[in-house]
Amino acid sequence: MRTHEIRATYDRDTITVYQAYRPEIAGPAVEQDRFVPPFSRGRMTWIKPSFLWLMARSNWARKPGQERILAVRITRTGWEEALGHAVPTHPDRRVFRSSDEWRARFAESVVHVQWDPERSLRGATLDARSIQIGLSRHVIDQYVDDWIVSIEDRTPLVRKIHRLLQDGQATKAKAFLPSERVYPLSPDLAHSIGADLP
């Protein structure tokens, strides 16, 4: 596993990203298969392709305001469009020649990319990094109206896996994890977001 690579569940046309919301937002989104009010298009929303990273972040859907876990399938075209607009949240020397160049690019960016430590099944911090993408209000309309293919509630699965972990059945729990593999990137796209190439 390389340090900076995107690992995700994807097929020829779509990639699955995860988000955690309170029930008032998640319920209508699942019912209508799209985000509707009270989901806000006026603030940044973060999407993450790593299931276990979000489990650590949401404490297995037990953190207030993150009680429902949604699997959002979006088009790979939309995902790569977002990556193409993305600017890392820190001045990565592999991407920028100077801090000034990063500051100028970041000030104008409509999509943020952040690499956080990946997590194990039990929530331990790993050396590998996990990507999350912040979509600003300037691109959320595209995300909601054009990129989303389907929205599924994964909360029951999350609870099942967590219950198995609590019962000391880690091997069984692991069998229910979504299958994630390295997502292919062009050299130019990989460089622009600070990802490693094979």
Q: Report whether pLDDT(37) > 90.
A: yes
Instruction: Give alpha helix (H) positions in 10-154.
Output: 23-32, 51-58, 76-85, 99-108, 140-142
Percent of the chain past pLDDT 70, that is, above it, reads: 99
Instruction: Give per-residue pLDDT as tens, 95-127.
Output: 998 999 999 999 999 999 999 999 999 999 999
pLDDT of 197: 80
pLDDT of 93: 87
pLDDT of 57: 96
Q: SS3 string of 55-77?
A: HHHHCCCCCCCCCEEEEEEEEHH
Mean pLDDT of the chain: 96
Q: How many residues does the chain have?
A: 198
Residues 118, 52: Cα–Cα separation, whole Å? 8
Q: Report whether pLDDT(1) > 90.
A: no
As to burial, measured by CB atoms within 10 angstroms (0-12 exposed, 13-18 middle, 19+ buried), residue 130 is buried
CA 185 to chain centre: 16
Residues 46, 11: Cα–Cα separation, whole Å? 21
Structure tokens at 78: 């939309």
Instruction: Give per-residue pLDDT as tens, 123-168.
Output: 999 999 999 999 999 999 999 999 999 999 999 999 999 999 999 9
Q: Report whether pLDDT(191) > 70.
A: yes
- Smallest CA-to-CA distance from 53 within 75, 69, 72 is with 69
**Taking residues 43-52, what's their average pLDDT?**
97
Task: Give the number of other Cβ atoms within 10 Å of residue 132's Cβ.
Answer: 21
